[in-house]
Amino acid sequence: MHRKKDLVALTNRGLYVEAADVYIDPWKKVNRALITHGHSDHARWGNKHYMCANSSVEILKHRLGNDLSIQGVAFGEKIYINGVNFSFHPAGHVAGSAQIRVEHKGEVCVVTGDYKTENDGITEPFELMRCNTIITECTFGLPVYIWDRQYLVMEQVHDWWASNSRDGKVSVITAYSLGKAQRLIHALDMNIGKVFCHPAIAKMNEVYRSSGFRLPETFVLSPSTTKKAVKGGLLVVPPAALDSKAIQNLGTLSTGIASGWMALRGNRRRRNADRGFVLSDHSDWISLNRVIEESGASRILTTHGYSVTFARWLSEKGLNAQPLNTEFGDNTSEDSDH
């Protein structure tokens, strides 16, 4: 059967909309890049012109440089490029994260970027889009990844923090500095104790605030932070900082990791942290399947992680699904849950 050309096609530079001559989240330098969200595997340095959701502009500038040629677009606003209709819609992944809808000659394709369907209380909530073709992430596209609701996970975090606090210990939780950290801070019960942020996270908090997101005030870790000050408190640090001397020297620690990968015991034990909290900014198995079904898409392209497996599963259910070999994500490390 002859297929007409895909509206959004995979090239060696990234996802390409030929009719408009623009790329979505390209991994090599291009003239015009539409960016779904600020994580480094999606928003790369070196493109000539950037376009993203309004609430993502400050994040991109913070990460890629203030002199960026960048245009912000309101969610739902229709943009025409070379006659092709583009719009950005909330993906619920991190602040300003978008699904990009492309419409041309009656054909609709949605590039989801990374997404989660649960409303985390801080990120613009996910919007379900109807389309002909969906290019979906499937970082956690295996039936073993099924998340508990956020409030249940936060109960575990709070119990752990409160119990450490009673024992005079410092709780250290690792969270990716863009997104996961702010989601956590926003959901924390500040009555338990003081919250300290790693400088990298504190900076991102400021970017969040300047983009219009409300976050509670927290302390910032610095070389002069004392053991006494942090005793009983909670430190929010990026994964790589956990083993650093600066953190290790702050007293008797209890360590926790907030990541979807913590759903597996093997991953929890490998990291040698005391606790693993299953908290992901990606969709779990159930939401991935629901979103695909409800999108009404007749063609499904899977990216990230378990793309081959997930596409096979969808194909066997009678859907037209194929893996796309993009350069997003990398499912081999629990740190990549961002």
Q: What DSSP letter does each residue of 76-93 carry, written as one string?
A: T--EEETTEEEEEEE-SS
Give me the amino acid identity at 196. F
- CB-based contact 17:7 (threshold 8 Å): yes
Phi, psi of 227 (to 5 degrees): -55, -40
Binding to another protein by residue 313, rule CB under 8 A?
yes
Residue 114: other Cβ atoms inside 10 A: 29
Q: Using the rule CB under 8 A, give the single segment among 23-31, 176-184, 227-235, 330-338 that binds another protein.
A: 330-338
- Tell the smallest beta-carbon distance from residue 132 to another protein (Å): 26
Q: Using the rule CB under 8 A, give the single segment among 81-89, 97-105, 201-209, 309-317 that binds another protein.
A: 309-317
Binding to another protein by residue 330, rule CB under 8 A?
yes
Q: Rule CB under 8 A: choose which of 9, 125, 269, 320 binds another protein.
A: 269
First to last CA, the chain: 39
203 versus 290: smaller Cβ distance to another protein: 290
Q: Rule CB under 8 A: choose which of 149, 214, 265, 318 binds another protein.
A: 265
Q: Which two tokens stand for residue 259?
A: 């990541």
What is the rounded CA–CA span in Å between residue 8 and residue 283?
A: 22
What is the rounded CA–CA span in Å between residue 14 and residue 22?
A: 10
Task: Using DSSP bridges, classify how beta strands 98-104 and 107-111 pair: parallel, antiparallel or unpaired.
Answer: antiparallel
- Tell the smallest beta-carbon distance from residue 267 to another protein (Å): 6
What is the rounded CA–CA span in Å between residue 139 and residue 329?
A: 8
- Tell the smallest beta-carbon distance from residue 144 to another protein (Å): 4
208 versus 277: smaller Cβ distance to another protein: 277
Binding to another protein by residue 85, rule CB under 8 A?
no
What is the rounded CA–CA span in Å between residue 100 and residue 110?
A: 6
- Tell the smallest beta-carbon distance from residue 174 to another protein (Å): 15
Q: Which two tokens stand for residue 43?
A: 């928003």
Pick from 139, 132, 133, 87: nearest CA to 116: 139
Q: Rule CB under 8 A: choose which of 94, 122, 234, 273 binds another protein.
A: 273
Give me the amino acid identity at 191. N
3-state secondary structure of 111: strand
Q: Rule CB under 8 A: choose which of 187, 264, 290, 322 binds another protein.
A: 264
Binding to another protein by residue 270, rule CB under 8 A?
yes
Q: Rule CB under 8 A: choose which of 261, 297, 302, 321 binds another protein.
A: 261
Q: Rule CB under 8 A: choose which of 1, 144, 224, 245 binds another protein.
A: 144
Q: Using the rule CB under 8 A, give the single segment among 14-22, 94-102, 224-232, 312-320 that binds another protein.
A: 312-320
* Interacting residues with another protein between 150 and 179 (CB under 8 A): 160
Binding site for another protein (CB under 8 A): 142-146, 160, 261, 263-270, 272-275, 309, 312-313, 316, 330, 332-334
